[in-house]
Amino acid sequence: GENVEQHPSTLSVQEGDSAVIKCTYSDSASNYFPWYKQELGKGPQLIIDIRSNVGEKKDQRIAVTLNKTAKHFSLHITETQPEDSAVYFCAASKNTNAGKSTFGDGTTLTVKP
Give residues in contact with other proteins (CB under 8 A). 1, 4, 6, 9, 31-32, 34, 36, 41-46, 49, 89, 91, 93, 95, 98-101, 103-106
Q: How far is the CB of 79 from other proteins (least distance, A)?
A: 25
In the bound state with other proteins, the residue whose beta carbon lies nearer, of 37 and 111, is 37
Q: How far is the CB of 106 from other proteins (least distance, A)?
A: 6
Query: Is beta strand 10-14 parallel, antiparallel or unpaired with respect to 107-112?
Result: parallel
CB 49 within 8 A of CB 32: yes
CA 94 distance to own-chain centroid: 16
Q: How far is the CB of 113 from other proteins (least distance, A)?
A: 26
State how far the Cα of 3 lies from the Cα of 25, in Å rounded to an integer: 6
